[in-house]
Structure 1
Amino acid sequence: MTGQERANRLFLVLAAFFVSNALLAELIGVKIFALEETLGLAPFEWNLFGQTGSLNFTAGTLLWPIVFVMTDVINEFYGKRGVRFISWLAVVLIVYGFVFAYLAISLAPASWWVGVAADQGVPDYQKAFAAVFGQGLWTIGGSLVAFLVGQLIDVSVFHRIRRATGERLVWLRATGSTAVSQLVDSFIVLYIAFVLGPQQWPTSLFLAVGSLNYAYKMAAAIALIPLLYLVRRGITAYLGHGQAAQLRAAAARD
């Protein structure tokens, strides 16, 4: 297998993993979990902008940090065009997934299926299915817009830092681009979904929840820096130092 064939196969694998994580994050994001209770800790009563509460996040936050790492890895080896391509591909496939989720909800349920999980505490399977997969259009729209804008900002900031630092300080361009892109992402999704949407959150709640989400994403991004280096090393070993260096150089000129 030639070096170019390895590079093409690697991009295919990275793109598939990226899109899978983004799609799964959107689908499972309907669940809100309590971080303190999950970790067996006493509730942390935060107080921001006059709002108080515990640390509650969507289940999608389990996967978005992986998406951040994948974005930086693809940026590193395949440049702006690579990231833009997979970002648009992810958005198209997420919309495709939700279209078919709504179509599935609209199908008339089999009468025996509706109550099949009653002994598990789910008296109406159709309503449960609709509640889980039928996320509001404001939430879906906000999430998709925030994701795409965040990705486009991430790739731009990443390359600005790369031009300033060269091949040094991989952690800085990865974390710095995430810091800027996720600041925008964290507030856009909430603004569209919950301020413009039917819930019409007050400004204080919007700022408080957005700040907490951003703090969580940055903590996760910093914690995953070792994973970024590990993946980068694995890719270099797979491609060979010469081919990996060529890809990084081409990505830097992109």
Structure 2
Amino acid sequence: MRISPRLMVIAALFVTCLIAANIIAVKLISVGSNIVLPAAIIIFPLSYIIGDILTEVYGFAWARRVIWLGFLCNFIFVFFAWIGGLLPGASFWQGQSAYETILGYTPRLLLASFSGYLLGSFANAAVLSRMKIWTKGRYLWTRTMGSTIVGEGLDSAAFITVAFIGTPAFALMLIVYHWAAKTLIEAVATPVTYAVVNYLKRVEKTDSFDRGVNFNPFKLADAKP
């Protein structure tokens, strides 16, 4: 089975953005005087943009595979980061607390991150795929924005609810801030999305329409090279 090298690059970029976002998310940044967001806000939306490109060009079946690949790679990273934290440090090493601050994930935050990612990513891909049929392949911006509004909304709601509900940090406006910031980045990146999609469709000589595709996230066997 021959897989397009461009598809491999897109998958690699998707996974890289996902893992990088989870690492830098521990840093909080201020936007204005009242809004606090994780530093991952600068890169996590890129995974949705890449996901849009993937679904638009190669179809939902390939997007589904790459989403699960991202989940697996992220899980492997988190597992070995945890193992690394358990290993005894050298007698002269003073960085254990810093290591645990950056790479030490609580079970609740892991559940929040994984559930938000899967829910949002699959919703994003499914909405874009269905909208492409409805719009007959026209008006790409409506698909990228529509799918992002749904996907990022579900992602933000799931993550913040699971991670913070029942704690003083939980607030509905926090969900709104996350969702709005991610959606704004998608909107700003729309010209880039158009350029990349048009380039890939031209060089790959493909433009997938997911008629009759099974949107079950657990069905992995119907992606064609």
TM-score by length of 1: 0.79
Contact 1:30 1:135 in 2 (8 A): no
Partner SS, residue 111 of structure 1: coil
Q: Is structure 2 residue 106 aligned with structure 1 residue 131?
A: no
Q: Is structure 2 residue 14 aligned with structure 1 residue 18?
A: yes
Q: Is structure 2 residue 74 aligned with structure 1 residue 94?
A: yes
- Aligned equivalent of 2:51, options 60, 71, 74: 71
- Aligned equivalent of 1:142, options 93, 109, 112: 112
1 CA distance for matches of 2:86 and 2:45? Answer: 33
TM-aligned CA deviation for residue 205 of structure 1: 4.0
Higher RCO (C-alpha under 8 Å, 6+ residues apart):
2
- Aligned equivalent of 1:157, options 127, 131, 136: 127
Residue 60 (structure 2) aligns with? 80
Residue 218 (structure 2) aligns with? none
2 CA distance for matches of 1:143 and 1:212? Answer: 17
Q: Deviations over 1:179-227 (max 9, x none)?
A: 01111111100111111xxxx236x942111111111111111111111
TM-score by length of 2: 0.88
Contact 1:77 1:251 in 2 (8 A): no
| Larger Rg belongs to | 1
Higher percent of residues as helix: 1
Residue 93 (structure 2) aligns with? 113
2 CA distance for matches of 1:32 and 1:113? Answer: 26
Q: Percent identity?
A: 24
1 CA distance for matches of 2:126 and 2:194? Answer: 21
* Alpha-carbon RMSD: 1.8
Residue 206 (structure 1) aligns with? 171
Consecutive aligned runs of 4 or more in structure 1 exceeding 2 Å deviation: 236-239, 249-254
Residue 47 (structure 1) aligns with? none
Give aligned pairs, total. 213
Contact 2:57 2:197 in 1 (8 A): no
Contact 2:117 2:155 in 1 (8 A): yes
Partner SS, residue 29 of structure 2: strand
